[in-house]
Amino acid sequence: MRTEEISTPKRTKEIIARHGFSFKKSLGQNFLIDQNILHNIVAAAHLTPDKGALEIGPGIGALTEKLAQTAGKVTAVEIDRRLIPILEEVLSPYPNVSVEQGDVLKVDLKDLFARHFEGVSGVSVVANLPYYVTTPILMKLLEEKLPLENIVVMIQKEVAQRMAASPGSKDYGSLSIAVQYYCEPQLVCTVPHTVFIPQPNVESAVIRLKVRDKPAVEVEDEDHFFEIMQASFVQRRKTIANNLKSRYFPKEGRERLEELLQQAEIDPSRRGETLSMEEYAVLSRVFLQAGIR
Ligand code: SAM
């Protein structure tokens, strides 16, 4: 007989009660109790038995179980020590799953990949992320340039919209550019509060980030590119010229800055939110050529 899925509300409550587990809001613990959502998340990652999946924050293993039934190898990193014995118990039918206790922001992911994903044809990150650390986790995954195919994550809806936003829209900002530099984002679905226990007090969405083979634009110096882009958004309502002046030419007149913007073919009266990623790449190149860092 097939055992009941971990994620049904009844079984989730039973596991939690039997282990005397109490939710910690500070760790973003909102567990999924809906089969359809779990199915949609896993489907968006395009996993097959020759692929690996890295899950961040498995909770009591609801998503982990679905991943174990779809991918060849699954590794889950969970910060909360109290969940480890629960995970060992509920995931015992799945020999292709390993669980590590730790803070994903501190874990050596290259080492983890070498230990767990040898021989798989590709790895995706699939997770219902703890919302309080969504951006640091995603930026760590992307900046370390791990060999990832997809990142499919449940996150706060507002953050998902910012990641997928296009130039000129109100949601477009440095997060959109940072994510889109490495990935092609696609909103998979928005999610009602009722699929979690306890229910979060923000709206949620699932986003798929298809990791690009190479970044979307060619830049000479990534740190400089990200810095100039971030400086352009420091005060959203200011023009690009005003923002860049505060950061790069605080004590000088505007002539030099306007000359550089002209070289980059960017009107100084535009706002940072209207520039495309390509325009930021050109701007960074022009500044670097002029020795402005
Ligand atoms: N995957 C489970 C589910 O969908 O039901 C739980 C998701 S819950 C939103 C987030 C999980 O991430 C919790 O289990 C929490 O303890 C864990 N977590 C929070 N911060 C973490 C961190 N820095 N590193 C690893 N896990 C973390």
Q: Please give the ipTM for the structure prediction.
A: 0.99
Domain boundaries, the chain: 9-211, 222-289
E strand or H helix at 244: helix 240-248
Contact call for residues 68 and 96 (beta carbons, < 8 A): yes
Mean pLDDT of 151-180: 97
pLDDT band at 42; cut points 50, 70, 90: very high
**What DSSP state is assigned to residue 214?**
S
Could you tell me the distance, in angstroms and rounded to a whole number, from the CA of residue 33 to the centre of ligand 1? 14
Could you tell me the distance, in angstroms and rounded to a whole number, from the CA of residue 60 to the centre of ligand 1? 9
Q: Which residues have a Cβ under 8 Å from the Cβ of 78 and sit 6 or more positions away? A: 57, 58, 59, 84, 87, 99, 100, 101, 102
Only one residue has tokens 């951006």, namely 135
Q: According to the model, what pLDDT value does residue 3 have?
A: 64
Q: Measured at the alpha carbon of residue 11, what is the angle toward residues 8 and 14, in degrees to the nearest 5?
A: 145
Give buried/exposed letters for 131-142 (b at 16+ CB in 10 A, else e). bebbbebbebbb
Between 62 and 7, the higher pLDDT residue: 62
Express each pLDDT in 115-156 by its tens digit. 999 999 999 999 999 999 999 999 999 999 999 999 999 999
Q: According to the model, what pLDDT value does residue 21 have?
A: 98
- Is 34 annotated to bind ligand? no
Architecture of domain 222-289 in this structure? Orthogonal Bundle (1.10)
E strand or H helix at 55: strand 52-56
Q: Which CATH number fits domain 9-211: 3.40.50.150, 3.90.480.20, 3.30.465.10, 3.50.50.60?
A: 3.40.50.150
- Is 78 annotated to bind ligand? yes
Residues of the chain with pLDDT > 70: what percent? Answer: 99
